[in-house]
Structure 1
Amino acid sequence: MNSSTQTTRLYHTMLSPFCRKVRLVLAEKKIEVELVEERYWENPPDLKRRNPAGKLPVLRYRGNMLAESQAIVEFIDETVPNPSLMPKSPAERHEVRRLCAWFDDKFNAEVTRPILEERVWKKITRAGYPDSRAVKDGLRAVKEHIDYLASLLEARRWLAGNSLTLADFTAAAHFSCLDYISDVDWDRSEMVRDWYATIKSRPAFRPILADQVPGIQPAPHYAELDFG
């Protein structure tokens, strides 16, 4: 098969913010993709062949096997330029990358990973009971992050500026995982809630809102566009 006609295929897991970020960007660019769910915790033999780091997501696209979510979405944005999700100026692109790193590093370490590990992955992998202290620490930290986003949105239409960028999809990917299990205090900031409601209403978000993780029911408001 010619590499240009190969099916675009994403190896992913549903409640991973990194996988969701790639799914959102592919959908925003209107790129059809075949989703392949990987139980990465079982160390599937082909995972390290696709990505030596043994991490998801991995995207097969136009004959390339792509790894690392930020590298993947920037590759997609450069190869499918419309709609553009990166600004033109170096300073604006820096701000987008800074916020992507904020969520994928700081927010993930303080909020997404500890909450999902305790409330979701321990249940799925049968790895014991949740550590309530870790969950409480994550819930306390998310409030601080919401306050920070509110301070950004006081002067901006979107997180990195006045246009929708990869920063918004990165943040929304993390929040959507937490919102699935109802762990976001949306009443803390009307601006942040409205920002999420706006991005959540985009057609690119529909497949994310249709996710059903076996054994874990989504929050009642999860798929509602006018929550809150």
Structure 2
Amino acid sequence: MHNATHKLYHFPLSPFSRKVRLSLAEKRIEVELVEERYWEQDPDFLRRNPAGKVPVLRMDGRTFADSTAICEYLEEIHPEPALLPKAAEQRYEVRRLVAWFDDKFNAEVTSKLLGERVFRKLMGTGYPDSGNVKAGSKAIKYHLDYMAWLLDQRRWLAGNDLSLADFAAAAHLSCLDYVSDVDWNRSEVVKDWYAKIKSRPAFRSLLADQVSGFPQPSHYADLDF
């Protein structure tokens, strides 16, 4: 049963929205998903978040913005299951990697590939810039290799336990996978990591996402690729 007071204003192919959706689902906090075409700058939406970005969480009569701040808030009010470790040094590593994906990976890969292939069409801002697409396709290889290097030493990206770092990475990669932009054959260890995350119950709603004008590729929701 959905709690009528919990709403998440999101866009299906927003990695920041997906990171929050994964955190909510992992903690079994039910929310109603409200799709928000945030680039249309609807006045009602701008009142909820003057930054004009998704996700925005409406919970218990209060409004929360910024995906990382939301995830940390959820961790504080709903500590189980934990997505941030107890020890300061390990918490630092999770936060470092969340920032890595949400800043560096987003700037070098997601905004270049998803931005050109999907959002240009959705927002009606012209044709894809092939230079950006090439740069994004080149950069993702470096990031996948970095993930492989981390996963060679750890069970999950930030350590031995699943954390917000894994959800941040999976949020970006699942959006890119929706437009078939991830070469899963580049690294067996990264592919195994994604298969493990993809098969978690928390991931189910992401695999059901449909964006009109962009049909799901056949492998996207297949748990065995």
Report TM bin, short chain: over 0.9
How far is the alpha carbon of 1:192 from its aligned partner? 0.4
Q: What is the DSSP-based 3-state SS (H/G/I as helix, E as strand, rest coil) of the residue aligned with 1:36?
A: strand
Q: What is the DSSP-based 3-state SS (H/G/I as helix, E as strand, rest coil) of the residue aligned with 2:43?
A: coil
Separation in structure 1 between the aligned mates of residue 120 and residue 111 of structure 2, nearest angstrom: 12
Amino acid at match of 1:27: A
Structure 1 residue 59 corresponds to structure 2 residue 57: yes
Q: 1:150 aligns with which of 132, 141, 148?
A: 148
Separation in structure 2 between the aligned mates of residue 26 and residue 149 of structure 1, nearest angstrom: 24
CA displacement, residues 98-147 of structure 1 (integer Å, 9 cap, x when unaligned): 00000000000000011111100111122211111211110110000000
Q: What is the DSSP-based 3-state SS (H/G/I as helix, E as strand, rest coil) of the residue aligned with 2:180?
A: coil
Query: For residue 208 of structure 1, what is the aligned residue in structure 2?
Result: 206
Query: For residue 75 of structure 2, what is the aligned residue in structure 1?
Result: 77
- TM-score of the two chains, using structure 2 as the length reference: 0.97
Separation in structure 1 between the aligned mates of residue 50 and residue 94 of structure 2, nearest angstrom: 27
Structure 1 residue 41 corresponds to structure 2 residue 44: no
Structure 1 residue 169 corresponds to structure 2 residue 167: yes
Q: What is the DSSP-based 3-state SS (H/G/I as helix, E as strand, rest coil) of the residue aligned with 1:154?
A: helix
CA displacement, residues 39-91 of structure 1 (integer Å, 9 cap, x when unaligned): 11111111221112111110011222100000001100111111011100000
Q: What is the DSSP-based 3-state SS (H/G/I as helix, E as strand, rest coil) of the residue aligned with 1:212?
A: coil
Which stretch shows the higher mean deviation, 139-148 or 38-47? 38-47
Which runs of 5 or more residues in structure 2 are unaligned?
A: none
How far is the alpha carbon of 1:225 from its aligned partner? 0.4
Contact 2:208–2:221 (Cα < 8 Å) also in 1? yes
Q: 2:126 aligns with which of 125, 128, 134?
A: 128
Which runs of 5 or more residues in structure 1 are unaligned?
A: none
Separation in structure 2 between the aligned mates of residue 64 and residue 80 of structure 1, nearest angstrom: 16
Please, what is the CA RMSD of the aligned residues?
0.9
CA displacement, residues 136-179 of structure 1 (integer Å, 9 cap, x when unaligned): 11011000000000000011000000000000001000000000
How far is the alpha carbon of 1:6 from its aligned partner? 5.1
Contact 1:209–1:223 (Cα < 8 Å) also in 2? yes
- TM-score of the two chains, using structure 1 as the length reference: 0.96
Q: What is the DSSP-based 3-state SS (H/G/I as helix, E as strand, rest coil) of the residue aligned with 2:25?
A: helix
Q: What is the DSSP-based 3-state SS (H/G/I as helix, E as strand, rest coil) of the residue aligned with 1:46?
A: helix
Q: Deviation above 3 Å: which 4+ runs of structure 1? A: none
Amino acid at match of 2:35: E
Contact 1:10–1:34 (Cα < 8 Å) also in 2? yes
Kindly tell me the number of residue pairs found equivalent between the two proteins.
223
Contact 2:5–2:61 (Cα < 8 Å) also in 1? no
Contact 2:11–2:37 (Cα < 8 Å) also in 1? yes
Contact 1:6–1:61 (Cα < 8 Å) also in 2? no
Contact 2:4–2:32 (Cα < 8 Å) also in 1? no
Amino acid at match of 1:209: L
Separation in structure 2 between the aligned mates of residue 206 and residue 56 of structure 1, nearest angstrom: 20
Q: Percent identity?
A: 66
Q: What is the DSSP-based 3-state SS (H/G/I as helix, E as strand, rest coil) of the residue aligned with 1:225?
A: coil
